[in-house]
Structure 1
């Protein structure tokens, strides 16, 4: 088995300090890629600009929690980007994909995971926040798809790189 594919023997990782560091680092890398794409590169190319903090604020308000700017940033940047999404990759998506399609390259597996994140966020969370389903399939919808895929690939690349260094 090469480092380029998901590992069929891969099990859910033990919750250690090393795993927590892996979650935080990969989440930070993914969040940086997402925000760089959605807030800088996409608008420079003439596409929509993402507003994930606005979506987070709308979601928080819809479920009765404080939804000021600080809460929206904390939700988007930390709880979702740095913790929840990488936990989903390490503890759910990667082990499942590794068992179902063991030879699938991590690059493709992570892109599929990113598309799943997009369905969850733009297809589901937007509706809870009182926004149109998939944001009405406007330009921002497709920028968000690319952003979630970029996020997942960047985060998974960080995981693959760190694990490769650890296995030396």
Structure 2
């Protein structure tokens, strides 16, 4: 699962939760997008950590390696209502409806659903923010931690058939 897949899924949940139009949710750092007017959200991946040892499964002709990791995403809210939006996000991130939202999303290859689950959210915090016009603006942030299950698939040879027979060892394989 790519970082883009995780941020797309989280952005859709944020749009439904705050609520916001899709154009008001952006990815942070080098996004080259001007800040919109009104309430908007910037998502920035803040960290990744492995939460379990890899698991390996096998399918027809392939080996599948599963990795579980925690992905932390800092969500910055700017504009009128940012504090209320941050509080709403922190409140609803651990709600069963949030887990169901991510569980039902198509986030994997081949139409696989699931792969993302909410872990926890930090407390919403206000931050100092001065705009390019030297004006103080309402800005809040909350960090959301998600469990992300990623896979990598590799080709794998298997022995599909086995010939069993009785052989006279010395006749078939003479001693040297």
**TM-score computed with the length of structure 2 as normaliser:** 0.31
Higher relative contact order (CA closer than 8 Å, sequence separation 6+): 1
Higher Cα radius of gyration: 2
**TM-score computed with the length of structure 1 as normaliser:** 0.32
Q: Please state which structure has a larger fraction of its residues in strand.
A: 2
Q: Please state which structure has a larger fraction of its residues in helix.
A: 1
